[in-house]
A and B are shown apart, each in its own frame.
Chain A
Amino acid sequence: MSLVHEIDFGTPRSKSEKMVTLTIDGQSVSVPEGTSIMRAAMEMGTQIPKLCATDMVDAFGSCRLCLVEIEGRAGTPASCTTPAMDGLVVHTQNARLAALRKGVMELYISDHPLDCLTCAANGDCELQDMAGAVGLRDVRYGYDGENHVFAKSGPKHNHNSPEACENDHWMAKDESNPYFTYDPSKCIVCSRCVRACEEVQGTFALTISGRGFESRVSPGMSESFLDSECVSCGACVQACPTATLTEKAVIEIGQPEHSAVTTCAYCGVGCTFKAEMRGEELVRMVPYKDGKANRGHSCVKGRFAWGYANHKERILNPMIREKITDPWQEVSWDEAFNFAAKKFKGIQAKHGRDSIGGITSSRCTNEEVFVVQKLIRAGFGNNNVDTCARVCHSPTGYGLSSTFGTSAGTQDFDSVEDTDVVMIIGANPTDGHPVFASRLKKRLRAGAKLIVVDPRQTDIVRSAHIEAQHHLPLMPGTNVAVLTALAHVIVTEGLADETFIRERCDWSEFEDWAAFVAQPNHSPEATAIMTGVDPKELRAAARLFATGGNGAIYYGLGVTEHSQGSTTVIAIANLAMATGNIGRPGVGVNPLRGQNNVQGSCDMGSFPHELPGYRHISGDAVREQFEAMWNVKLNSEPGLRIPNMFDAATEGTFMGLYVQGEDILQSDPNTKHVVAALSAMECVIVHDLFLNETANYAHVFFPGSTFLEKNGTFTNAERRIQRVRKVMSPKNGLEDWEVTLGFAKALGYEMSYNHPSEIMDEIAALTPTFAGVSYAKLEEVGSVQWPCNEKQPLGTPIMHMDGFVRGKGKFMLTEYIATDERTGPRFPLLLTTGRILSQYNVGAQTRRTENVVWHEEDRLELHPHDAELRGIRDGDWVRLQSRAGETTLRALLTERMAPGVVYTTFHHPTTQANVITTEFSDWATNCPEYKVTAVQISPSNGPSEWQKEYDEQARQSRRIAMPVVEAAE
């Protein structure tokens, strides 16, 4: 193995379709118009020396190292800023250019430390490379003059010399960021970092302060990196050609020697990375330029937050216990499999075939999810399989399949580059889907318009060089009313796209729908009293969306996690169809998926009523195909969904649960009810990296493997199937799919696969939308978006291009029904929940990394007015109470919240935000209503009784018994 090398073309690719032809060093080369001479040369294999150019940012032309001569033009223009043109004759090297370049390099090196041998960038430093490339052999200037190199300098030019004097130009290293350092003495002020932060990340945290010799890179207003606006995405570190910005892991370990391309295991953006290794040790993750979701960018989680794999709390041995009050016993894999199998068989013998089930993980690979649902359907003999997507995006599946015919978003991420009006509903992309947010912001800075529908003033509403045209701050729970009001304006003002609707949708259904939304009670003015949205703003937003060109809707959990979640998704689909915004680049309906493989786990048949590929279990033809392949009779009745499992457990008809890679206790609503359900079960198997909260109620623990330790595929929010590649051996001994196979075998249902690629082959054979997917194809083309089959062998970036999957697009009526979770005198405020950038989901992984420096605890955000009424100051402990329970956390006063609405995240188990949330759920899918809970808050002295009891129970439950005899191995 060796490092995966990517060519740096020096300047970004031009998208022009017009080609120009020029001659470089006697060779003719054709490139798209707008390509720099530097890039044109690189495309034919000639690397012109360069320092300040790199292809992730626009050229700046400051270092003057990339000079060339062009026949018929005077001087020596910079090749990075000079565009290729028809007929140019360019020379990249001659005596004059060589002398000029040497002079430039000499100046750079004269103000640069010469500790190359011990420098962390040794072997990966472009300054070093360029010194070599231009043939620099000696530097005539010493450190006598002014320099930035040493803390002290003096007559002896010896920075160790005690009699040397202070050097005002020198700056100490900034090591405040947990993952990278900034060593100003090595900076060549090429501004690549500044441009990366602006153009790629869109945060504008860095500036070059001062001028000429005084100029320095500076985060914020001369702050440290940690105190600045910096979100630690690492783009600047990647852009830096020297050791100035360097990963701490590289400083500690050294340069990597081999790498493999793999996919981030955090969010649904699905960034691909080169995992750069030294032996089996991960040195760093570098975003992969060819990654079609991320195009070479990443966020702090994917790039840096992988330390959890080595965290001391990670469990590496299987464990069992009879009762949850017992300490855990470490056992061999076989003992654990047999113990679990015996329990599950016993439960079925006693309570019937349908008394056990399982939950698949949205964090595991497609192959792992597929074998778990196969184990349940074929091995357990029932359909009690569900996935945590239940609690986030199940309404997306229901809503989009009802209207369009597929349970997935319609676009690829590249599509945003062609969007003119972006509508974001109930999503906070800068925190939840950061790399997509960066791509979106780039488009917004280039002039696209933005509409935000969200109770909170999220960061995207106003950020560096971006301001939403319309922010509709609605009351939580009124999404349907707002969307129907938008439709009302579009229909009554004659803005609907009739041509599109006549051609692509069922016209009579449209007419019914149009008559429905046109009713006066759906107007913005009539609904304002419930929604709290200014009717004028709403009308303006509707007009902009309908008439502003390509309109794209992006939405998140603020849409789905409501009692009308499915209705809202349908309303979004209606809106897209009514405005003709479906079936081409730049438009569409795009759910932003939370976890990395939410899409994949849904595709793989994780729902109790659906076989892989979203086909209902009662369909005989499809079921028989599976029966033939699996050699077993399948149950044709839908099984239990997660909330139904809990109800059935408390009732005594559901007694055994296998949970793969999820922490249902922390992530599901109404913790007390979940605790009661888990305690009622006779055997709970948790398969995870850590003793998570659910494991406190488990009898068997199967240790899991990280994404670095296994092979497989993930499917991101754009339906893109990407490889996960094993770069180290599983520390727990088995890859997760092997664990499921071991358990299945102990149960008497053997599945024989030697490699996950064989599982994918089976998926492809059974699922028409995956028919063309194989590891060989992924090796060849990198990634594909399903449907991938004979008709679309390379996948489908944009869906519904020439007609909807279901035939005609279906308009459906969306009556607004207020949730029963209402405020009243006892619970006058509405609580809504969300997430932040540096933490992920229930935080099991991110809490075990340095990311905690950005988010040590969950805080309750509230408007100063609500706080003042209750005598609460910023930072005070407050008691948060709902009808379901109460918890305490500290207050954060902010005007982002409308008065009457409070907000918190749920990344830390001690917060127990879900003790508060209730069991109201989406009417169609039972997706819990996390986003609306009526609450009261009051000052408090500290953690509630329940929190204390809970902590004690957790502490007791996590005990692991000391081995009695050391096995003599």
Chain B
Amino acid sequence: MDTHTSTSPDRLIYMANQIGDFFNSQGHDHAVAGIAEHIKKFWDPRMRKKIFEHLDAGGAGLKPNVLEAIASLKK
């Protein structure tokens, strides 16, 4: 039975996309910057590390703006 106790990285992907959904209405440039800033400000390093690893593995499931934002953060 689905219990919603999804473990990362699924949960992190879900969270990142949710952040993306808020910023997307602001248009591409603002959205990518906003998402990146939000993740930088609020995610603990181990969460960021995990999402970077996921990005390196292809970033499946991350929506386009979110993918771009995370890539920009990783630099």
Flag if A651 contacts B7 (CB, 8 Å): yes
Contact B44 A608 (CB under 8 A): yes
Q: Which residues of A contact B60 (CB under 8 A)?
A: none
Residues facing A in B18-65 (CB within 8 A) are 18-19, 21-22, 24-26, 38, 41-47
Task: From A383, A648, A919, give the contact of B5 (CB < 8 A).
Answer: A919
Enumerate A583-616 residues with CB–CB distance to B below 8 Å: 608-609, 616
Question: If A638-B44, A924-B19 touch, does A650 touch B3 (CB 8 Å cutoff)?
Answer: no
A146 part of interface (Cβ distance < 8 Å):
no
Cross-interface CB contact of B7 among A384, A618, A639, A650, cutoff 8 Å: A650
Residue of A566, A647, A651 with most partner-chain B CB within 10 A: A647
Within 8 A of B (CB), among A548-606: 563, 566-567
Asked if B4 is an interface residue, CB under 8 A from chain A, the answer is yes
Segment 602-658 of A: residues with Cβ below 8 Å from B: 608-609, 616, 618, 637-641, 644, 647-648, 650-651, 653
Expressed in whole angstroms, the minimum distance between the Cβ of B21 and any Cβ of chain A is 5
6 contacts between A and B (CB under 8 A): A608-B44, A637-B45, A640-B47, A641-B44, A647-B8, A651-B7
Which of B4, B7, B46 is most buried by chain A, counting CB atoms within 10 A of its CB? B4
Query: A923–B22 contact, CB under 8 A?
Result: yes
Q: Chain B interface (Cβ within 8 Å of chain A)? A: 1-8, 11, 15, 18-19, 21-22, 24-26, 38, 41-47
The CA-CA distance from A644 to B8 in the complex, in Å, is 10
Chain A residues lying within 8 Å of B1, measured Cβ to Cβ, are 883
Which of B4, B7, B25, B46 makes the CB contact (< 8 A) with A918? B4
- Complex alpha-carbon distance, A673 and B3, angstroms: 9
Residues of B near A384 (CB, < 8 A) are 44
A543 proximal to B (CB < 8 A):
no
Of A616, A638, A641, A883, the most chain B CB neighbours within 10 A belong to A638
Number of A-B residue pairs, CB cutoff 8 Å, is 78
On chain B, the residues within 8 Å of A648 by CB distance are 46
| Nearest neighbor of A920 in chain B, beta-carbon distance | B4
A813 interface contact, C-beta 8 A: yes
Interface-centre pick from B2, B8, B11, B25 (highest chain A CB count, 10 A): B25
Asked whether, in the complex, the Cβ of B22 is within 8 Å of the Cβ of A567, the reply is: yes
Are A639 and B44 in touch, CB under 8 angstroms? yes
Is there contact, CB below 8 Å, between B2 and A923? no
B72 to chain A, nearest CB (A): 17
Q: Is A230 an interface position by the 8 A CB rule?
A: no
A563 and B18 in contact, given A608-B44, A647-B11, A651-B7 (Cβ under 8 angstroms): yes
Bound-complex Cα distance A884 to B5 (A)? 8
Q: Which 8 pairs show the lowest CB-CB distances between chains A and B?
A: A923-B18, A815-B25, A813-B25, A673-B5, A640-B44, A918-B4, A919-B4, A817-B21
Within 8 A of B (CB), among A638-691: 638-641, 644, 647-648, 650-651, 653, 670, 672-673, 676
- The verdict on A670 contacting B5 (CB below 8 Å), with A609-B41, A638-B43, A644-B47 known, is yes
Q: Is the CB of A670 within 8 A of B4?
A: yes
User: Does A339 make an interface contact (CB < 8 A)?
Assistant: no
Are B41 and A354 closer than 8 Å at their CB atoms? no
Residues facing B in A779-815 (CB within 8 A) are 813, 815
Measured in the bound complex, the distance between the Cα atoms of B45 and A608 in whole Å is 12
Please name all residues of chain A whose beta carbon is closer than 8 Å to the beta carbon of B4 when the two chains form the complex: 670, 673, 883-884, 918-920
Which residue on chain B has the smallest CB distance to residue A646? B5
Judge whether A516 is part of the interface by a CB distance below 8 angstroms: yes
Q: Which residue of A lies closest to B18 (CB)?
A: A923
| Chain A residues with CB below 8 A from B46, complex form | 354, 640, 648, 653
Please pick, from A354, A609, A884, the residue contacting B3 in the complex, using a CB distance under 8 A.
Answer: A884
Known: A516-B25, A616-B41, A638-B41. A923 touches B5 (CB 8 A): no
A897 CB to nearest chain B CB (Å) = 25
Name the A residues within 8 Å of B42 (CB-CB).
Answer: 609, 638, 641, 924-925
Residue A926, interface by CB 8 Å: yes
Chain A residues whose CB sits within 8 angstroms of the CB of B22 once the complex forms: 566-567, 815, 817, 923-924
Which residue in chain B gives the minimum CB-CB distance to A637? Answer: B45
A220 interface residue (CB < 8 Å to B):
no
How many Å lie between the Cα of A639 and that of B1 in the bound state?
32
Residues in A whose Cβ lies below 8 Å from that of B41: 609, 616, 618, 638
